[in-house]
Structures are given as structure tokens and as C-alpha cells.
Structure 1
Amino acid sequence: MHDTPSTGPHDLAVVGTGVIGALTAYYACLREPGLRILLVSHGSRVHGATALSAGFDTLTGRDEVQRELALRSTKLFDKLAGELPGLPRRRLAVHWVVARSGAAALDATLAGGSRTTPVDEEHRQALGQVFPGLRVGGDQVLLSSAPMAVGGPRALADRLLDHVLGRPGSMLAEGFRVTGIRRDGRRLELTAADGSVLTARRAVVAPGPWALDGPVADAARARGARVKKVVAFHVLTPPPPGAPALVFEDDDAFLLPDEPGGRWILSITSPDWDRDPDGPLTIGPHDRALALALLERHVPGFVPHLTGGRVFSDCFTPGHLPVVETAGDPDVVMAIGGSGSGYRLAPALAEHALTLLYGRTTAP
């Protein structure tokens, strides 16, 4: 293949235009303003988990590494808000239902040394007006933590991609399904399913749920990556202004107010593993049964309003710890394993990917 002004070699190819890929490209522009960046998406430019994620940014982590990623991402999100005014992001109060015996373990997951506090009776009664029929089991406690954030992953990715594509020499290749990346001298060749080729000097592969079908598939499988269905129901009753989130820690589920949509989002943990992200994904009767059982236990007043929702898939890794490392070539970095937390950890993951390629961190 012969290089042309439109095909490369670009300085950096970012494979995957979800929120991790978009942030990677954006930060690359800040680090090296003259970089020619190639954005590659096998479908439309923002789809998959980023298009459908609720954007709940809990400042938590399963281990110290994930907590550090969460803290770093929060700092970077705050910086983004100053650089790109008008991004959808707001703080909200968060309450937790957890087994009494698990309260200390919950505190251990909170980043930055934060701790929960018990909800007193007056506050509990007020929460009952927001969550009708609120119930907490006899072996459970209702706790409050510091406010956390909710953002708009799709709006953020779109804004970042617009910024990158406004730079001279950068371009977007949609419908280019990368099946392999190989070195050809001082450049990388990205080959698509139809045999077409694009070139770049370096590449970051952030494929979301398509990690097991593409140029880093073998490396992803070697690290135990699997694809799982993610389900979020809609509870069609308007949340009051300033409504808090309610996290069911032992069920790995949460209720999140979607004030612009005039509804609540109920995210549950689906038991459906090893799902093809390109296959038909639907909310099944077993998903609805799980959601109804959860609401009947804790917020029975929401049961009549549980109607439809959103379903997608994500790549999960052991321990739910994302993997950001080189993949077969020092100029190819993969960022995989969002494990349902890809949005809230995305800034730190993007920063790490670029540090592996360029050897330094420029953001604060």
C-alpha cells in the first residue's frame, strides 16, 4: 500500500471511539499538539457501552490499584470540566444498603479515605418519600457517603472526538473493523476485515466489548477477559429534584436518578456471560425477574413502574481490574476490561496508555 495524505502514516491510531478511545485521542492532542491522529471505529463513531452507559462515577475500588485509578480519574474529570465547559456532569448524594457485617468492607472500597455514616431515622423517613416503601432487611444497614458524580459518557465522547477531528491531519475511519495490526518497518499496518489497510506509527486499541474479536484478542484471552451482558432497566416515575442514588451493595445494583429523562435507572448484574457483542442482546424474563425481586425487597413502590431499559455488553477481566499494557509490539498498547466501570476509570486508563507509548505524564 502507498501512503497518501488521507491514509497515513498517521502518528497515532486509536482503535475504538468509545469514551476510553476518545479520551486517549484528546489527551494525545494536549501532549503533542502537532500529532496526526487516526480514529478508527468498526461501526458508528460512538456506540456500544459508551452510548448506553448510565455514567455513574462512584469513587470506589475493589483494591488499592482501582481506588487510585478512581481518584486520578475524578481529578481528570474535574480538569475536563474546566477545559470543555458544558459537559454533562453533576454531583449527587449517595446512599447504600449493605449487610451489617459488610459495612466495614464497604468503607474499605471507598477511595481517598472516605467513610460512610449511618442514616438517622429522620433522614430515613425522608428517603422513604423518594424511594416509596423503602425497606432495609434486619441484617442490613442504610448508610450515607460523600457525594459522587454522574456524567454523560456519550456526550463526553462526542465532544472529545469533535475536538480531535478539528485538528489538522486528524481523521475518522468509520466501518473499519480492524482484524490485525502488524509492523512494516517503522510503521504499523492496521488491516480491516475487507482487506483494506491504514497505517500509523503507534496505536492504542480500546475496543470495549469487542476485545475478543480483533487485533488484541489473543492477549485479552490470555489475561482472562470475557464478555458479559449489562442490563439497566427504566423505572418510569420522575425523580424529585436533587434525588440521591441508592446502591444495593450486596446485589451489585443501583438506582440512579435520570432527571433529564424523567425516570430512574436500575442497573442490575446480569448472569449472562460470553455474549457476542454483535449478536442480538435483549432484556430477558430472567433479567426482569432479578430486577423485580430486588425492588420488591427494597423499593416496592417502584415495582409498577419497571418498564423496558437498555442492554449492552462489556469486557470483564479477573478482579474487574482493567488491563493497560503493550500487546505484542512496544508501539501497540491495549486498554481493555472496563468491567462495567470503563467510563468512571476512563481518564486514568487513557493517560496510562499514552504514558506507555510516550513515556511521560503531562496532565496534573
Structure 2
Amino acid sequence: MDLVVIGAGVVGAACAYYAAQAGLSVAVVDRGPVAGGTSGSGEGNLLVSDKEPGPELELARMSLSLWGELAHALPHDIEFELKGGLVVAEDDEQLRRLREFATAQARCGVAVEEVDTRGLRAREPHLAPGLAGGFHYPEDAQVQPARAAARLLESAGRAGARLILGEEVTAVTTTPDGRVSGVRTARRRLLTGAVVNAAGTWAGRIAELAGSHLPVQPRRGFVLVTEPLPSLIRHKVYAAGYVADVASGEAELQTSPVVEGTPAGPVLIGASRERVGFDRRISAEAVQRLAGAATGLFPVLAQVRVLRIYCGFRPYLPDHLPAIGPDPYVSGLFHACGHEGAGIGLAPATGLAITQQLTGERAAVDVGPFDPGRLVEPAAAQPRRGN
């Protein structure tokens, strides 16, 4: 077998899809179901609006183009919606900062338009009055992440990929000279010369099994899901503070309102961030902050029922950039993880990049800034021998 992908979330599914399309023999292994981790707990955002000029923005722009292609190529609907994003400012100072941010993005080719108070209400009639203005990003989009992962794996399967669910990887084996030779679960051993670590928030554990080290940590977030409200909210709408929260490394609870409708009708309300390990308990403080902030943006939501609350864990790396590419110390081990809250959006470009590295094809986008070697300390990553 050419490749074993560990992780059946959207990133792992994209890796498997592009590898299978390239003619590689692939197996995908996950201890749970498809999209059973972070992918199944996300809103499905495909964003350029929250990314400052730099390598992640370029990766996001390529990924957005690939998602558009996949929406037509995959066999069933993934609820791809080019809905656009609307970033709003409460006061003139916030608007000034957003303008500087948007101007820099526009120089990089991002489509963005400043919107005054009247324009905000024209785009979103239920927005609160008194906002200073904002910026419209027509390229922002959304998919249904669990469905997208399933469809990618379904297509990979038709190209010959094998899907193994409900089996936890217990070992990544290596040859006496330190090259990857396979993986083990409680039920089987899969022989391969290449392993892709797409295990999301558990990617650090997979790196350890291979004899390497990657400092991935979980960053918890909650989403509130309302009763169906068809066409109430037309865009992904978020406050200016969301951009700063995305870039923050703070461990304490941070919340900033993010509100969007879905094709099925319910409104999704986020976003919160905090590093509390894998604690899944509902935080009353986080929920209250999210509800209060959402009704501040859209007063009409004060009369709406929340049907459920769910939490997920973003795979956080200290510099806020994902790890994409070969491990510097374990030959044959590739990492595709650490995307934090952008994993859905960045998945296709990540999967394509990993496949191009595996096949030696010319890279479609520069992933040098995402080299896992920037995060791995030599003393912490000595390959194991002959196991």
C-alpha cells in the first residue's frame, strides 16, 4: 500500500481523495466514524475574510477555488453555498481597523467592499441599528462538513481507497533505519511506506507513536443551534473582534459573535475559544456570552429558541499555522494537522499539497511556511528503531 491516512475528518478525507485520484493505493483509518471529531463539530466555514495577508490567506484562496470544483465533482450535495461574509464594526475605531485590514487583503487579490450603515441593513435587514459600517467579502462560503468528508471518502473509495472505521491506531511502525513501515490497530497491521497524520486534535499522539513530536493542543469552542429560521440571516455575519480572537493565543475564554443561517434553516451562533484540555462540559458562561453577543447583533434572535448546543476542539498550534508536509526526523511520516478553526476551509489545498509531495509533482501552492520542522525540537524527536 502506498499510503495510510490516519483520520477520517475533512482534512484526512481530502488527503485520501487527492491521493486516490493521483493513482496511489490508500487506506484511511479512524478510531471513530467519518467526521467524528472536530469536523463534525464545526460550522463548515470557508473563509478568506478573517485571514491577514500571508501564507494562510494564499492557502485559503486556493482551497476556496478547489471547494468550488469539488461541489460539482463530488457525487452528492455538500451544501456548498457561496453566501459571502459580512464583518461589522460597532464604532468608528473598529471600522478604521477593519478598513486597514481589508485594504491589505485587497492588495493580495481578495474581493472586499466597504459597506456603510444603510448598506448593512440592505444586506441584513435584521441587523441591530447603530453599527458604524462594515465590509462585505463575497468569496466567503460554507459547506456541511460531515457531508463533505463523507462525499470525499466516497469518491476516494470509488478510486480504490479503503476505509477502516472504529479502529484506533496503536502504533506507527518503522524500519531499523527509521523509515515508516506501517501502522497497527488492535485488529490488523497495514504495511506502507507513507503515513499522513490527519488526526486533528489527537495529531500530537500520532506523532509520538511514530517517534516524533508535534505540539498540537485542543482549543474548545461551542456552537448554538436555533430552531429553523429560513432566510432570516443571509450571510456569515461577525463582529470585528472575531478577527483578533482567531489570531490570539490566550488560553482563557474568548467570545465574539458569529451568526449565520444554513440551507436547512437553523441559525448557527458562535464563536468561543478556550484551552481547557478535552473537557466537554458545557460552559454556562460561554453559552451566555454567545447568546448575548448574538442578540446584540440581531435583536430578533432574543425571541428564538436554541434547540441544541454542541462543542468541539480546534487543533491549535502555537503560531496559528497548520503543519503540512514531511516530518523532519521520521522518513515517510507526513503531517496534515493543526489548522485550528480553519480546517474545513483549508482541507482541499492541504490534501492536494500532501499528494503532490508524495508523488513529486510540482506544488500548486507554496507550503514551505507550514513545514512541520518549524515546530519540532530535535531532542524531542528521535526516530525509533526497528519496530
Shorter chain as denominator, the TM-score bin is 0.7 to 0.9
1:118 maps to which of 115, 118, 134: 115
2:152 match: secondary structure: helix
Deviates more, 1:110-119 or 1:226-235: 110-119
Normalized against structure 1, the TM-score is what?
A: 0.84
Q: Name the structure 1 match of 2:190.
A: 198
1:106 match: secondary structure: helix
2:101 maps to which of 101, 106, 121: 106
- Say if 1:233 and 1:306, in contact at 8 Å, map to a contact too: no
1:74 maps to which of 59, 64, 68: 64
- Say if 1:97 and 1:142, in contact at 8 Å, map to a contact too: yes
In the TM superposition, residue 296 of structure 1 has moved relative to its aligned partner by 4.3
1:79 match: secondary structure: helix
Q: Name the structure 2 match of 1:268.
A: 271
Deviating beyond 4 angstroms after TM superposition, the runs of 4 or more aligned structure 1 residues are 361-364
Q: Name the structure 2 match of 1:6.
A: none
- Say if 2:29 and 2:163, in contact at 8 Å, map to a contact too: yes
Summarize the Cα distance change of 1:59–1:235 in structure 2 as closer, same or farther, 3 Å threshold: same
- Say if 1:56 and 1:149, in contact at 8 Å, map to a contact too: yes
- Say if 2:15 and 2:352, in contact at 8 Å, map to a contact too: yes
1:57 maps to which of 35, 46, 60: 46
Aligned mates of 1:49, 1:329 — CA distance in 2: 26
- Say if 2:157 and 2:163, in contact at 8 Å, map to a contact too: yes
Q: Name the structure 2 match of 1:356.
A: 357
2:10 maps to which of 19, 25, 36: 19
- Say if 2:126 and 2:299, in contact at 8 Å, map to a contact too: no
Aligned mates of 1:104, 1:330 — CA distance in 2: 45
- Say if 1:331 and 1:357, in contact at 8 Å, map to a contact too: no
1:295 match: secondary structure: helix
Q: Name the structure 2 match of 1:220.
A: 214
- Say if 1:40 and 1:174, in contact at 8 Å, map to a contact too: yes
1:325 match: secondary structure: strand
> Does residue 189 of the first structure (1) align with residue 185 of the second (2)?
no
2:260 maps to which of 251, 256, 261: 256
> Does residue 246 of the first structure (1) align with residue 237 of the second (2)?
yes
2:87 maps to which of 93, 96, 100: 96
Count, aligned residues: 338
Normalized against structure 2, the TM-score is what?
A: 0.79
Q: Name the structure 1 match of 2:286.
A: 287
> Does residue 322 of the first structure (1) align with residue 322 of the second (2)?
yes
CA RMSD of aligned residues (A): 2.6
Summarize the Cα distance change of 1:304–1:270 in structure 2 as closer, same or farther, 3 Å threshold: farther
**Higher share in strand:** 1
Summarize the Cα distance change of 1:266–1:67 in structure 2 as closer, same or farther, 3 Å threshold: same
Aligned mates of 1:317, 1:124 — CA distance in 2: 35
Aligned mates of 1:249, 1:188 — CA distance in 2: 48
Aligned mates of 1:275, 1:313 — CA distance in 2: 9
2:134 match: secondary structure: strand
Q: Name the structure 2 match of 1:4.
A: none
1:350 match: secondary structure: helix
Summarize the Cα distance change of 1:46–1:125 in structure 2 as closer, same or farther, 3 Å threshold: closer
Q: Name the structure 2 match of 1:298.
A: 297
Aligned mates of 2:36, 2:198 — CA distance in 1: 13
Q: 5+ unaligned residues in a row in structure 1: which ranges?
A: 1-9
Q: Name the structure 1 match of 2:141.
A: 149
Aligned mates of 2:59, 2:273 — CA distance in 1: 25
Summarize the Cα distance change of 1:237–1:318 in structure 2 as closer, same or farther, 3 Å threshold: same
Summarize the Cα distance change of 1:195–1:360 in structure 2 as closer, same or farther, 3 Å threshold: same
Q: Name the structure 2 match of 1:7.
A: none
In the TM superposition, residue 151 of structure 1 has moved relative to its aligned partner by 1.0
Show the 5 A alignment for 1:121-132. Answer: 121=118, 123-127=119-123, 129-131=125-127
User: Which amino acid in structure 1 is aligned with residue 259 of structure 2?
Assistant: L
In the TM superposition, residue 178 of structure 1 has moved relative to its aligned partner by 1.8
Q: Name the structure 1 match of 2:334.
A: 333
Summarize the Cα distance change of 1:247–1:24 in structure 2 as closer, same or farther, 3 Å threshold: same
The CA deviation string for residues 4-41 of structure 1, in whole angstroms up to 9 with x for no partner, is xxxxxx21101101111111111111212xx3211100
Summarize the Cα distance change of 1:244–1:178 in structure 2 as closer, same or farther, 3 Å threshold: same
